[in-house]
Amino acid sequence: MERILSDDKFLTTLLDETNSIFITRWKSVSSEIDSNVEEIKKYIKLIADEIASVHPKYYLANQTERNTVYTVDIQNWIAVTLLGGCKRGGVKKAAVVQSKNLIADISTDQMVSEASSELNFVVKYFSDENSAKKFLLS
């Protein structure tokens, strides 16, 4: 069963308590915060803090509707912040459902590449949430 942890105009965070999966679902209007670095940081910090708080085994980042493009300047900060939350939360695997927005997807890929040497868990990419969940639970 999925329990909503937070929900607003740009992002919903949930916890699948049965399977210990922390889920983020960005909304299509997320592009409205593209140029607001502080707003982006607020959401990334929220995600990292919630992961650290609920201690899920798995993290599923559903970015299908995410249109926010992370600039190179902020990608490293996001990678370090999310990685810190995942480490504190004990995440074992992560799955990213790719955005429909190619540029948003590229910025995510660059960010994961930046953090790859620090990752102590596997991150894989998927085109849909069901495939991502199957990977996490395998």
Query: Is the Cβ–Cβ distance between 100 and 72 less than 8 Å?
Result: no
When pLDDT is averaged across residues 22-49 and rounded to a whole number, the result is 87
For residue range 94-115, what is the model confidence (pLDDT) as tens digits?
999 987 655 655 666 666 666 5
For residue range 14-28, what is the model confidence (pLDDT) as tens digits?
999 999 999 999 888
Query: What domains does the chain contain, in order, with CATH numbers?
Result: 2-137 (3.30.750.24)
The model carries a pTM of 0.87
Q: How far apart are CA 98 and CA 37, in angstroms?
A: 22
